[in-house]
Structure 1
């Protein structure tokens, strides 16, 4: 087996380790650092180094090794942490991430960046502790020697007197538990790269390899865990007199440590299961680690493509079940149906629904995955702006579809930077107006019906309505002083619109916000803004929980069935002739509780024949899209149902006014309407039809609403 088969596993786990490293670095108190956090940062670097060495990623291995040595000094108290040192460690983490991506793309990492960060870390070591840090000479996992491990063994719970006797032979017994032949051969080959194999014996249940050399148990575990689970490895030191002469007696003796190895900074020497980094943590940490290992062994990594394929098949199953249900219902109306068949269909429906929900939950990821990226963004941006910011997160356990999680990060980052740059005032300004010097930025997520609501809240200056209107008029936008606050705030999403006095390298309120809005709409969501001058701004993003399943309202127009996303539907009513008005430009509005809503006649926009053309005999469905409300004229409301979304662009092409399609229980295709797209399409058709008015215009009042 080629070890390259495990590259993807290494890349994924290294990404997680780098994320953990960044989180701990951001949370650590430089004045009183938590030893457990320092140990966690060290272990993350150590594991990445071991894996990088195994896979031959030399640049990544060397960078991580040098950083690991500095972290080792820090956790021993020989290197005092400062804010600028944490900044350097964060920069090193970013560079390691770039190196990881380079190897992922089968490219060589940037040599100049690598040399610069290594020089920076070396300089810190020389200035702070007066020592030089050497990178490993070979692209294999670096290790501590038995002699150099005395201090580490003490940290792991052994006294300095006990440590030499624990592994006086310089050998380790590595047991591979429940590992098949194919993986075992690969693992033994890797062990040969880490030291000299003195003996090996056993079977699939437990295969033991005695390894001699300078490699540590921690290094072996770091490498092996990229291939098998932690609970499949048992590493124990070989005590004096334990080694027996056997069939492998011809193997070379253990090599003494070289001068370079004995001068290297010591790393952890652990027995397996690995002892906790601090002796006083006791059995609690050991049990915690064992529990974590058990948890990891009960999970598997599955390609997203495979999950998507299962979701698609479940969707097809739901459609088939709907068809069968429709058939049984039709048969029942005609001649009666066997009760057992009806009972079976009911059971199938329940099981299909449970299966659908279970499969969909596989793709759901906690919002913590998104929010965890923002402490670094806020820290770096606030530092660049000279502001003091407190970041608060709420609802981190709220789950969202994986595809949406990946796509929401960039728009959310832009909104956060806007709040930091143009929302929250400078500390001196805040203090002068009676606010705390430290501004507060809150990221919140919660479920709202069938949607997820994500909010970016700041306690800054808020949006200035008058200033927004003045800037809009200056830019030639069609605005009026009678616009609602919500409509005025939506102006910041207009392309190129900005009220910033100067454009910074962080953001410009409005610059790029049109892209944010467009991206969110592309996910089937919408953006809403609430603001109060002097008190702050709340930007809300409303998204569907998943892109595969949609709660919809079925409507009839002529002989066609359409689906309205239920999240956009507010209410429905029977229009009254006295409440409808013709506006300039052939627009029609419907008065609903003193609010005038643009009317969209679906039969006109979608060219549907045999539809009801008299508005008073139609049903007006009040919907919301892009922060505005519309009245959509339909013939009939069929009912609410969950539908499986089929992407039109993948199977056909983009259609104006249509966001996707679905298959109904009778096998027919129903189009899922795009509210905002329908309004734009309606306006475009009316513009194309000028100067002739539509035949139905004479029905409405000619006077404009007051």
Structure 2
């Protein structure tokens, strides 16, 4: 009897990827020359498990590659070979390579063995005792010797196919193109085939792909360095053309190319020539697989869930029995008690189910030690990463979507927040800078802080740049906090030099927009010379919302409690009329615009007199507005249903829910509502309120 092993593939992939996470974490803890045996044993066991599993399922390329690095680890743990920094770097590269190979297998894609072959040769050179294992003969021949010995110009074809979410990671293609142009003569062609029509166009998604022809003597490694920070978010193919600038890269004799070129060149060239759509399909598949489709739940949570279901079944049986026969006064009282018990059990069951989706934020934090190590080495900075509150739990969906904004903020801190060791010593600081990630619960939210002890934000520089861009005027009297908020304006940056890692402010508007899409907020505080802190506040889950029910005409709406500042009755003496017929309320030295929900949503029969309705003050993007409603109802938790998935996207509405009486109620999106009301100037977050008139309404 034959056994279908494919049924076990998903478990193998999950366990192997977890093993790679363990390997990466432990490798970052290794110190060359002072090796902890238990750490090496942990790495060895993880590699051995991946090797054994891949061999069992017939993934021979994975098992063969893992066997070589397992041999090196075995020699190190036995003490016959001393661990060096070069070994650690190669092992970390092997972890990345194995992730790629497993990802290709998981998505049924053809495995690209180019990187695996190169790394395998380096490991074999180390095991053979060669003095410089980092440079294999093939790599030396293709990348270093031709430019040095002959000084010849080589022409490369570079295909750059970014994934749609590239902008959301804080990366900007124009900066990559400018950096590529510094290497030599560059010809650029953009492919517009994937650009959708205007109705489906999203400003924060990238639909373009590019083809570059670059004539340079810098070599292929210099080109790879340009795309180093976007390689996980794009398909990048580099081909040595071998001809003069502008010649056809494919038609020029491939036999001549294969001789002096690195081994990695022929394989992708042949694949991409024969099947052009493959990289795009492969990128889409990899993007889809980045989010895990399963979670591991502790047995305690499962036991609690089973107990709650048992209580629910008992209560249901009791209510069924009470419903039989004639309803007497005694039965009616028992029925009310049973319904109260049912409500209690249902609430407990809901909380138990939600806890199943809650995972410790360490799943997000675990990716940053590697990021900090690699980035600090590239920047020549000494950085210590501190992780606090790693066991703070967060909904799995929120956790997956907050990862990219956090990566951008951490890169900002490393690149532009922390000074170089020499600058820190001159300022009387320790050479080693500190980046701290902290997570904790506060009320019904989770708070994530990204802190650094670097130079802080330069408020004067930010203000001058804002004046140059026309965002503010010389006469505006802004506090330091208000000036710091300007870095979240679209495209705003004070960087003197464009960086491929980050730019303080470049992409920060995308970071804020992504966080707001999770019903969260982000704030920045900074003290020059002391450091900066970015504070992210998020709901614990996207499935359930604490909301305030309000009525407008005959309709019931829900306002998220997290957005509400206060509710009050309006004193007409405190209301002024400004340009465009907009009313504003003067409240504690602030002028708050009043939005009439019945006009925005086109309802009739609502209360129109300001003094007869109620005003709910809400806040978004550090801007307050007042929503005029007929009445306030109860506060309650509501289950969010996607309006876009079931109907279509509606401006000013973030979702819907079903109330206890069966009616559908819309959940108001405060940020979208402000845009819908036309209160924001284009390109700014300032409300377009004209100067207050002297006469009162």
User: TM-score, normalised to structure 1's length?
Assistant: 0.67
Asked if the contact 1:450–1:545 (Cα under 8 Å) also holds between the matched residues in 2, the reply is yes
Aligned counterpart, 1:127: 129
Q: CA offset at residue 484 of structure 1?
A: 4.3
SS of 2:584's equivalent in the other structure is strand
Change beyond 3 A, Cα 1:579–1:533: farther
Q: Distance in 1 between matches of 2:41 and 2:301?
A: 27
Structure 1 position 437 matched with structure 2 position 431: yes
Q: What stretches of structure 1 move > 6 A for 4+ residues in a row? A: 128-131, 684-687
Change beyond 3 A, Cα 1:115–1:666: same
Q: Distance in 2 between matches of 1:389 and 1:25?
A: 17
Q: Distance in 2 between matches of 1:429 and 1:671?
A: 54
User: Which structure 2 residues correspond to residues 206-245 of structure 1 after superposition, within 5 A?
Assistant: none
Change beyond 3 A, Cα 1:56–1:677: same
Asked if the contact 1:648–1:660 (Cα under 8 Å) also holds between the matched residues in 2, the reply is yes
User: Which structure 2 residues correspond to residues 687-706 of structure 1 after superposition, within 5 A?
Assistant: 702-703=693-694
Q: Distance in 1 between matches of 2:634 and 2:541?
A: 21
Q: CA offset at residue 300 of structure 1?
A: 12
Aligned counterpart, 1:93: 95
Per-residue CA shift, 1:421-457, capped at 9, x if unaligned?
A: 1111111111111111111111111111111111111
User: Which structure 2 residues correspond to residues 332-371 of structure 1 after superposition, within 5 A?
Assistant: 338-371=332-365
Aligned counterpart, 1:72: 74
SS of 2:650's equivalent in the other structure is coil
Aligned counterpart, 1:421: 415
Q: Distance in 2 between matches of 1:356 and 1:491?
A: 41
Which of these residues, 567, 575, 579, is aligned with residue 570 of structure 2? 575
Which of these residues, 582, 591, 609, is aligned with residue 596 of structure 1? 591
SS of 2:111's equivalent in the other structure is coil
Q: CA offset at residue 488 of structure 1?
A: 2.8
Asked if the contact 1:605–1:685 (Cα under 8 Å) also holds between the matched residues in 2, the reply is no
Aligned counterpart, 2:371: 377
Aligned counterpart, 2:22: 20
Q: Distance in 1 between matches of 2:50 and 2:97?
A: 13
Change beyond 3 A, Cα 1:597–1:459: farther
Change beyond 3 A, Cα 1:297–1:342: closer
Which of these residues, 469, 484, 491, is aligned with residue 463 of structure 2? 469
Aligned counterpart, 2:63: 61
Q: Distance in 2 between matches of 1:79 and 1:617?
A: 83
Structure 1, 467-476 or 393-402: larger mean CA deviation:
467-476
Per-residue CA shift, 1:296-347, capped at 9, x if unaligned?
A: 9986999xxxxxxx9xxx9xx9xxx9xx9xxx9xxx9xx9991111101101
Asked if the contact 2:597–2:628 (Cα under 8 Å) also holds between the matched residues in 1, the reply is yes
Change beyond 3 A, Cα 1:301–1:349: closer
Q: Distance in 2 between matches of 1:657 and 1:646?
A: 15
Please identify the structure whose Cα radius of gyration is greater: 1
Change beyond 3 A, Cα 1:617–1:336: farther
Asked if the contact 1:583–1:704 (Cα under 8 Å) also holds between the matched residues in 2, the reply is no
Asked if the contact 1:527–1:627 (Cα under 8 Å) also holds between the matched residues in 2, the reply is no
Q: CA offset at residue 511 of structure 1?
A: 1.6
Asked if the contact 2:301–2:352 (Cα under 8 Å) also holds between the matched residues in 1, the reply is no
Structure 1 position 510 matched with structure 2 position 501: no
SS of 1:507's equivalent in the other structure is coil
Asked if the contact 1:401–1:545 (Cα under 8 Å) also holds between the matched residues in 2, the reply is yes
Aligned counterpart, 1:136: none
User: Which structure 2 residues correspond to residues 184-333 of structure 1 after superposition, within 5 A?
Assistant: none
Q: Distance in 1 between matches of 2:622 and 2:94?
A: 43
Structure 1 position 391 matched with structure 2 position 385: yes
Aligned counterpart, 2:653: 658
Change beyond 3 A, Cα 1:457–1:362: same
Change beyond 3 A, Cα 1:62–1:595: same
Aligned counterpart, 2:198: none
Asked if the contact 1:586–1:686 (Cα under 8 Å) also holds between the matched residues in 2, the reply is no
User: Which structure 2 residues correspond to residues 150-169 of structure 1 after superposition, within 5 A?
Assistant: none
Change beyond 3 A, Cα 1:658–1:49: same
Change beyond 3 A, Cα 1:53–1:396: same
Q: CA offset at residue 53 of structure 1?
A: 0.6
Per-residue CA shift, 1:524-583, capped at 9, x if unaligned?
A: 211111122221111111111111111111112222111111111122222222322233
Q: Distance in 1 between matches of 2:567 and 2:45?
A: 60
Asked if the contact 1:469–1:481 (Cα under 8 Å) also holds between the matched residues in 2, the reply is no
**Over aligned residues, Cα RMSD in angstroms?**
3.0
User: Which structure 2 residues correspond to residues 623-662 of structure 1 after superposition, within 5 A?
Assistant: 623-662=618-657
SS of 2:556's equivalent in the other structure is strand
Per-residue CA shift, 1:388-437, capped at 9, x if unaligned?
A: 11111111111111111111111110110011111111111111111111
Q: CA offset at residue 637 of structure 1?
A: 1.4
Asked if the contact 1:79–1:128 (Cα under 8 Å) also holds between the matched residues in 2, the reply is no
Per-residue CA shift, 1:348-396, capped at 9, x if unaligned?
A: 1010001101111111110010001100011111111111111111111
Asked if the contact 1:555–1:637 (Cα under 8 Å) also holds between the matched residues in 2, the reply is yes
Q: Distance in 1 between matches of 2:680 and 2:20?
A: 53
Which of these residues, 486, 495, 500, is aligned with residue 500 of structure 1? 495
Change beyond 3 A, Cα 1:60–1:27: same
Per-residue CA shift, 1:163-217, capped at 9, x if unaligned?
A: xxxxxxxxxxxxxxxxxxxxxxxxxxxxxxxxxxxxxxxxxxxxxxxxxxxxxxx
Q: Distance in 2 between matches of 1:2 and 1:297?
A: 27
SS of 1:384's equivalent in the other structure is helix
Q: CA offset at residue 31 of structure 1?
A: 3.4
Q: CA offset at residue 701 of structure 1?
A: 7.0
Q: How many residues align?
A: 505
Aligned counterpart, 1:7: 9
SS of 2:677's equivalent in the other structure is helix
Q: Distance in 2 between matches of 1:681 and 1:381?
A: 41
User: Which structure 2 residues correspond to residues 103-118 of structure 1 after superposition, within 5 A?
Assistant: 103-118=105-120
Which of these residues, 503, 525, 546, is aligned with residue 551 of structure 1? 546
Q: CA offset at residue 521 of structure 1?
A: 1.4
Q: Unaligned stretches of 5+ in structure 2?
A: 134-295, 683-689
Aligned counterpart, 1:213: none
Q: Distance in 1 between matches of 2:372 and 2:132?
A: 34
Aligned counterpart, 2:228: none
Q: Distance in 2 between matches of 1:90 and 1:523?
A: 33
Change beyond 3 A, Cα 1:642–1:297: closer
SS of 2:678's equivalent in the other structure is helix
SS of 1:437's equivalent in the other structure is coil
Aligned counterpart, 1:220: none
Q: Unaligned stretches of 5+ in structure 1?
A: 132-295, 303-309, 688-696
Change beyond 3 A, Cα 1:94–1:74: same
Asked if the contact 2:297–2:356 (Cα under 8 Å) also holds between the matched residues in 1, the reply is no
Asked if the contact 1:625–1:676 (Cα under 8 Å) also holds between the matched residues in 2, the reply is yes
Asked if the contact 1:394–1:445 (Cα under 8 Å) also holds between the matched residues in 2, the reply is yes
Which of these residues, 453, 458, 461, is aligned with residue 452 of structure 2? 458
SS of 2:128's equivalent in the other structure is helix
Q: Distance in 1 between matches of 2:695 and 2:364?
A: 48
SS of 1:683's equivalent in the other structure is coil
